[in-house]
Structure 1
């Protein structure tokens, strides 16, 4: 170490000394590091090439199919909606986890030092900026490639570069808000924005016969198109660096712990623990409710589920997005002509709604004391817990399917599919924890239990199976009564199976 204490107790000096100490004990050479970088760049280039070829092939297939009268939304608009949806999710995630945080090791070794916090946290700011740039590239690239006209290389480069610079500007703004303790509103606002952005085009594409407006990039000079985002990015990062010394140690430690838990859960594919780390808060009620209709113990379970669900505003947004996603796909030119793509949107949307309605089951699985205090058997508690998801999924599936097919018979088919997704919501909420006591598998992310695949799809598997009759109707272009009867039998059987397996897990 350098003998000058002022250098060693500066943030840059501490980070420099840590890097030197780590390098001295590392067994990785520069040749190995260069090979890893080259491998990462090669992988990224292959992914871009594969995506580009897939989008070009899909564009040709869509152009060869005849247009349907119900698909009125331009593909550019839907691609922009998808980009806004993913961007809102990333911004909400960054606001909830930081964006600047201190890992447990950083909080234990660096924060207590009498060194400038700005220099200590500068490395964390760089990491967050790099993550934001990668996320921006991942979001912007499909949007550019989804354009009806094949984009040129300069157009792709300018768009991706502009998105990356804007992502850096957003990170800087979030750090400034974090320093002032004002990030609490970011996640609710981005969630509301995502809901509006998905629902409004879906409703407009259903009510309006034709859609004349097509989003297009403004015709501005190239230096200005890159210069404005660059100025915003520089200003945001400079402002973030200047206010980083105001970040409280307690908040940095708390968010760093959340980041550590979320990272470990993502690498081990433990979605339950990941949901706990990123879970939305349950707000206290604004007014007292009498619940005068509660007379029986099972009604108390239903009332508790309604209370938990109603106090999570984001869950209502999930229901709205889950209802609108299939409609948005069916009303988009190109997507609406391919029943397979609409079916994928149906599974994603209804699965998202089922995840939202499974929140009470997940909380009950994590804290079973209240259920065990009820004068009900565990089987009766789980049956009562399926009532709210059944009612919610009947509404979501009925409205979504009816608007997708533009007919009451489609709405009936969607309602008949709801029991399978309701059972999937309860089954997924009571799914077991990962079992680390058995054998494990080696994966690129590390060791994972051999049963991780079964745990990940538990609940979703039966929901997808219950949607098969509706997918068949999409392929046929109609929803006959025979198919409705088959859907009722299949969904009822799968729903009963899902609740039964959840009962055994609960007991």
Structure 2
């Protein structure tokens, strides 16, 4: 290479290769210089974040304490099967650990973003020094979330003393960080993200299944409050895991780091832009195999309509996360009904709404993908409204099965099984309509004026956009609300639910994307003459 070429590549004097820490510091300084945010802005963001988290924790604490209501004798039927609150908390924590392991497996947990992967991974420096902050970021976040969740459950549902809550919160911090570090060890050993995510999904499924076994057998779990010695031993094990992950950072292949960083970047972008559909796609696609060994023959395809329905069914069947989500959501109302302290009308209603929306969102992956890339919708000779009605077939059928399972538990609790099963059938189309309406909602308009909030600058009307879907659940299930709160069903409520289901399907079939108020204002304006 000539001297001119060397000068063009490196005009400065060539010296020693900088350390990994120096490269990280240089990258951070360059990003901060171009970001335009000063120290005051950073401190203000941290202040608003801490205040928002504190308010959220207080709201969650008040909500969990309000759920601990005495069972009213007129709305609860005494049964031979029940579940204690400590057992419920232990099962919730087990399911949460499985969900955390699944998310950690889908995100990496160690990865390098696009710019970092393009520049850092090719440098002749120690890779451990480059990846050390990334390897600690997710375990630290998981530890904070785990400590907050355990503290809320202990002080809210169990109402334990302050000293015990502090010890339990510390155990939650250690356990949350340890779950993510286990995923990091598996990643450094060459395990695929799909395998780690599958193990996490199975652990999450064990939780509600164990609750069902405890309810049917009448067994009780012993007290699981860890002592300081146990917490110390687990903390030592977590520190050993952190050291092991740090020493094995250089063994993680560059391809795995790029894929993990790409998924994490996509997920962070979806959270910042308030796009739950993109977040779901990031978590789902991050654990899908690049190629499949089996090819489905799609024997149910007989035309355009059946092709659309079959495509939605195949998407749901191939997503293990959504199948586990459906099973867990179906068992949640039965678990709440089995806990005497929660088996009150407000508790049962909250369980139905939360579990129902979680299950319904799992069935709408086909519609969400069609909104992003409407390839199949445009190729098939079907009207837009017909396409949206066909997108409700798979969610409607699945939610019908979910409703029969969930409302069976409610019917046994209220001692009127037949009426509740009829109400379950009548309410299933509402869940399907809410799923399709949420899938085809328009994105927030970031080009318009922004509104300052504790979460940062958000576009005006973002609440109306995010409410598309949940609004159908809130309004379309009003007869179910009334039935649960009064503890009985009837012909009037069943007829009203059928009418509300027809209206919900009609609303979800509409291809109009503008809000109702905007359409009403546009209709009142006089037509412009040419």
- TM-score interval for Structure 1 and Structure 2 normalised by the shorter chain: 0.7 to 0.9
Aligned partner (choices 347, 367, 374) of residue 353 of structure 2: 347
| Aligned residues of 1:267 and 1:446 also touching (Cα < 8 A) | no
Post-superposition shift, 1:401? 0.8
Alignment of 1:308-323 (within 5 A): 308-323=315-330
Post-superposition shift, 1:111? 3.0
Aligned partner (choices 345, 370, 373) of residue 379 of structure 2: 373
Number of residue pairs the alignment of both structures matches: 492
Show the counterpart of 1:75: 85
| Aligned residues of 2:194 and 2:288 also touching (Cα < 8 A) | no
Show the counterpart of 1:171: 180
> Deviation digits for residues 197-226 of structure 1, max 9, x if unmatched?
124424653x45xx3414412675x3x212
Show the counterpart of 1:483: 493
Distance verdict in 2 for CA 1:410–1:79, change over 3 Å: same
TM-score, normalised with respect to structure 2:
0.83
Show the counterpart of 1:100: 110
| Aligned residues of 2:57 and 2:148 also touching (Cα < 8 A) | no
Distance verdict in 2 for CA 1:219–1:387, change over 3 Å: closer
Post-superposition shift, 1:367? 2.1
Post-superposition shift, 1:174? 1.8
Distance verdict in 2 for CA 1:326–1:5, change over 3 Å: farther
CA RMSD of aligned residues (A): 3.2
Aligned partner (choices 252, 257, 282) of residue 252 of structure 1: 257
Post-superposition shift, 1:336? 0.5
Post-superposition shift, 1:108? 4.2
SS at match of 2:355: helix
TM-score, normalised with respect to structure 1:
0.86
Aligned partner (choices 243, 254, 279) of residue 284 of structure 2: 279
SS at match of 2:324: helix
Does residue 158 in structure 1 map to residue 167 in structure 2? yes
> Deviation digits for residues 271-324 of structure 1, max 9, x if unmatched?
222222222456677655554454332122222222222222222222212211
| Aligned residues of 1:326 and 1:400 also touching (Cα < 8 A) | yes
Aligned partner (choices 354, 363, 378) of residue 357 of structure 1: 363
Alignment of 1:30-429 (within 5 A): 55-56=64-65, 58-59=67-68, 62-63=69-70, 68-70=77-79, 72-148=82-158, 150-182=159-191, 183-202=193-212, 205=215, 207=216, 211-217=218-224, 222=228, 224-280=229-285, 289-337=296-344, 339-406=345-412, 407-429=417-439
Post-superposition shift, 1:244? 0.6
* Structure 1 Cα separation of the partners of residues 292 and 258 of structure 2: 30
Distance verdict in 2 for CA 1:34–1:181, change over 3 Å: same
* Structure 1 Cα separation of the partners of residues 29 and 513 of structure 2: 55
> Deviation digits for residues 30-79 of structure 1, max 9, x if unmatched?
x99888878877776666666556655654xx248557524711112222
SS at match of 2:452: strand
* Structure 2 Cα separation of the partners of residues 113 and 362 of structure 1: 40
Post-superposition shift, 1:471? 1.8
Unmatched runs of 5 consecutive residues or more in structure 2: 1-12, 516-530
SS at match of 2:248: helix
> Deviation digits for residues 387-445 of structure 1, max 9, x if unmatched?
22221111111221122212121111011001111111222222223332333322333
* Structure 2 Cα separation of the partners of residues 114 and 84 of structure 1: 42
Unmatched runs of 5 consecutive residues or more in structure 1: none
> Deviation digits for residues 165-216 of structure 1, max 9, x if unmatched?
23333333222211232043111121122123124424653x45xx341441
- More deviation in 351-360 or 380-389? 380-389
Show the counterpart of 1:494: 504
> Deviation digits for residues 433-491 of structure 1, max 9, x if unmatched?
33323333223333322232222121221123222211211111111122111111111
Distance verdict in 2 for CA 1:297–1:169, change over 3 Å: closer
